[in-house]
Amino acid sequence: MATIAEVARLAGVSPTTVSHALSGRRAVSEETRRRVQEVMDQLGYSPRRAAQNLATGGTRLLGLIVPDISNSFFAELAKGVEEAAIDAGYNMVLCNSAFNHDRELLYLETIRSRAVDGVVYAAGSPTTHREMADSLGSIPVVLVDEEVLGSSTCSFVSDNAEGGRLAAEHLIGLGHTDAVILSMAGLASSDDRAQGFSDAWVSHDLPQPVVIGGDFTYDGGYAALAKAVGPLHDIDFSAVFATNDLMALGAMKRLMEIGLHVPQDVSVVGFDDINIAGMTNPGLTTVRQDVWQLGFRAAEALIASIDTSCPPPAERHVQPVELIVRGTTSLCMTDAD
């Protein structure tokens, strides 16, 4: 391993000058810069990050905490965060909490030890641990997709209530009158979507949709829908609004298993527009949120906060959503009650 001292010696200058030739933070004569560059190339010199970190007090590392990177929603988020990180010369440490408390505590220690300069935190469950909030206090944090630590933290979210409303208006326009909502109770984002849907529904003087709880997963959607159907596979609804796509897909699976066709018998609307929403047959009608953008902007804000040594402004940034109509919704064919 070449050190800065070696480079300096071979180039006949001081380590200080080598450092500045590299960083450009101080004027260096063209002649000197060239000679230094030559020696560096020859030695394949690259400054050691560990030493830079100690000297500067930073790590050029961002932490991204997500509940499940296998959910392509969070994978897309990660790509947005990474892009912003790269643009600013940072790298990204992926922390997949996997809904595991022990794992989260481990990552807290990572944060406490200042292994990263800041954190983008996408919470996956309603319960946020006090330890998390406390530890995060020591370095800048921005919340994405889910607000959990109270209003005092900078957050980037989609317009969830509006998304719920869009889904409802679409189904109402197709003549549906009876709907069920599949939602993960307690998760703010899910609750907001369900509420937006419900509000729009009743504002049209339609019967209040029943809310059925379930995890934010494929299996969660499958199980939730199972709870919605009667013992003889009889249903009293013609539309299903799932507060995320994975749940919607799970629900569709269950519907098909009991012999109900989508969209002929039941229309289904999801939320997120993850990449597989367009791959199913029929394609899933859903509310699209630009999660890449969410991650990108969140990371940008985080980096700005790090670079200026100011905590991220405690603002709530809300991004618009969009209804994507595919094949899982159609005109209501069932008789009105």
Using CB under 8 A, list all residues that contact a second copy: 1, 44, 46-51, 53-54, 57, 59-61, 64, 69-70, 72, 75-76, 78-79, 82, 86, 91-96, 98, 103, 106, 109-110, 112-115, 218, 249-250, 252-253, 256, 275-276, 279-281
CA distances from 196 to 169, 183, 202 (A): 10, 12, 10
| Binds 232: which of DNA, a second copy, none (CB < 5-8 Å by kind) | none
Q: Any bridge partners for residue 239, and if so which? A: 179, 267
Nearer to a second copy among residue 48 and residue 227 (C-beta) = 48
Distance (Å, rounded) from C-alpha 266 to C-alpha 252?
9
Binding partner selected for residue 5 from DNA, a second copy, none, CB under the kind-specific 5 to 8 Å limit: DNA
Instruction: State CA 74 to chain mean position distance.
Output: 5
Structure-block tokens of residue 17: 């000058």
Q: Which residue has the tokens 């380590």?
A: 15
DSSP string, 22-44: HH-SS---HHHHHHHHHHHHHHT
Buried b or exposed e, range 44-53, using 16+ CB within 10 angstroms: ebebeeeeeb
- The entry of a second copy, DNA, none near residue 20 (CB within 5 to 8 angstroms by kind) is DNA
What are the contacts of 5-9 at 24+ separation with CB within 8 A?
A: 6/43, 6/45, 7/36, 7/39, 7/40, 7/43, 7/45
Q: How far is the CB of 21 from DNA (least distance, A)?
A: 8
Task: Residue 16: name its binding partner from a second copy, DNA, none (Cβ under 5 to 8 Å by kind).
Answer: DNA
Answer with the entry of DNA, a second copy, none that 31 interacts with (C-beta below 5 to 8 A by kind): DNA
Residues at the contact surface with DNA, assessed by CB under 7 A = 1, 3-5, 12-17, 19-20, 22-23, 25-29, 31-32, 45, 47-48, 50-52, 54-57
Q: Distance between CA atoms of 197 and 47, rounded to whole angstroms?
A: 55
For residue 114, which amino acid is it? R
Taking the complex as a whole, how short is the minimal distance between the CB of residue 283 and a second copy, in angstroms?
A: 9
Q: Closest CB to a second copy among 35 and 103?
A: 103
The smaller minimum CB distance to a second copy, of residues 211 and 306, is found at 306
CB of 309 to DNA, least distance (A): 13
| Minimum CB–partner distance for residue 110 and DNA (Å) | 14
Q: Do 183 and 213 meet the contact criterion of CB atoms below 8 Å apart?
A: yes
Q: Which of 147, 144, 124, 129 is nearest to 62 (CA)?
A: 144
Interacting partner of 185 out of DNA, a second copy, none (Cβ under 5 to 8 A depending on kind) = none
User: Minimum distance between the CB of residue 298 and a second copy, rounded to whole angstroms?
Assistant: 16
Smallest distance from a second copy to CB 35, Å: 21
- Closest approach, Cβ 283 to DNA, in A, equals 51
- Cα(154)–Cα(135) distance, rounded to whole angstroms? 16
Q: How far apart are CA 283 and CA 268, in angstroms?
A: 10
Closest CA to 67 of 124, 107, 120, 110: 124
Q: Characterize the bridge pairing of strands 285-289 and 321-324.
A: antiparallel
Closest distance of CB 120 from DNA, Å: 25
Whichever of 22 and 291 has its CB closer to DNA, that residue is: 22
Residue 117 interacting partner from a second copy, DNA, none (CB closer than 5 to 8 Å by kind): none
Closer residue to a second copy (CB): 47 or 213: 47
